[in-house]
A and B are shown apart, each in its own frame.
Chain A
Amino acid sequence: MQFDSFADFIDMGGHGLYVWLAYGTAFVAFAASYFSVRQAAARQREALRWQANASNSQERP
């Protein structure tokens, strides 16, 4: 471990703002990227289910 205390870790030897800004932005961007794909997949599953139900009800009037 490179740091003596938690405060030291946050401060990053005076470069805390830059280090945490870089890692924070990366985290937000990766999370957004992951969840947007998940959401698109979920939306598609919903649409396919709807399509399947619609065609089923057509077959059995």
Chain B
Amino acid sequence: MGLKQFWHKLGSPRWFYEISRGWIIGFGVAAFVLLSVGVVWSLGFAPQDYQQGNSVRIMYVHVPAAMVAQSVYIGMGVAGLVLFVWRMKLADIAIGACLPFGIFVTALALFTGGVWGKPTWGTWWEWDGRTVSTLVLLFLYIGIYALREAIVDIELRGRASALVAMVGTINIPIIKYSVDWWSTLHQPASFTLTKKPSMPPEMWLPLLVMALGVYCFAGHNILSRMRIEVVNRERGTQWVRNLQV
């Protein structure tokens, strides 16, 4: 299928409903396998840190949660752009579907950061560049959620939330570079695409497994919510009436 054709089909809720079933099952199974392996690996088999001891195991939850929190937001920003430019209904549905998981995973990143900070830095919370910009990310998610709850008109709701989602993506590079701009407590990135990881494979391999697991979980969760909303909005149509439920 050509790209242009794919783009047109994406605009069709019915096509999404049909195709998403396989993706949801795939992501769900992958998430379950990856997270099961990742949890056992990171809790029982990954080595201790020579300075942090066993508290380093919190990294395997904290880092994937923080990565996915930002990625989901970027996805929402892209959906906002698509909605703004092409008025694709599915993009509006995607924004709505990203919000519950986005809120939860950002809150989890902040919470596990505090729990890791206590034994490592000696404090649950520090007004450090990265923690504050991640808190702003949480407020952006909650703000868009509140906005969508407050506006009844579906067209206006979509455009308003798309605008905030797009503008809010400015925060993503701020989170990324915060550790370089304001060098306080948070450590700089251990993972980059260009450099070798600053930790041994016994540590970054389980971290990679956990990160992929959380990404697949996010895929499962967001696509499931989109599918529910697609059916919800198309309830009056013949194809939804013909569904065998």
Contacts and interface: CB of A to CB of B under 8 A. Distances in A.
A2 B55 contact: no
Interface of A: 1-3, 9, 12-16, 18-19, 21-23, 25-26, 29-30, 32-34, 36-37, 40-41, 44-45, 48-49, 51-52, 55
Contacts of A33: 100-101, 104, 217, 221
Contacts of A18: 55, 58, 115-116, 118-119
A2 B46 contact: yes
Contacts of A3: 44
A37 B225 contact: yes
Interface in B102-135: 104-105, 107-108, 111-112, 115-116, 118-119
B104 to A, nearest CB: 6
Contacts of B107: 29
A33 B62 CA distance: 17
Given A23-B61, A29-B104, A49-B245, A12 B55 contact: yes
B169 interface: no
A2 B44 contact: yes
Interface residues of B, number: 41
B167 to A, nearest CB: 27
Interface of B: 35, 39, 43-48, 53-55, 57-58, 61-62, 65, 100-101, 104-105, 107-108, 111-112, 115-116, 118-119, 217, 221, 224-225, 227-228, 231-232, 235, 240-241, 243, 245
Q: Could you tell me the dominant secondary structure of chain B's interface residues?
A: helix
B61 A22 contact: yes
Contact of B245 (A2, A25, A48): A48
Given A15-B119, A18-B58, 13 more contacts: A1-B44, A13-B48, A13-B54, A14-B53, A15-B53, A19-B57, A22-B61, A22-B112, A23-B58, A26-B65, A37-B228, A52-B241, A52-B245
Nearest to B113: A22
A49 B3 CA distance: 37
Of the listed residues B35, B55, B65, the one surrounded by the most CB atoms of chain A closer than 10 A to its CB is B55
9 contacts: A1-B45, A13-B54, A22-B111, A25-B111, A30-B35, A37-B225, A44-B231, A48-B240, A51-B235
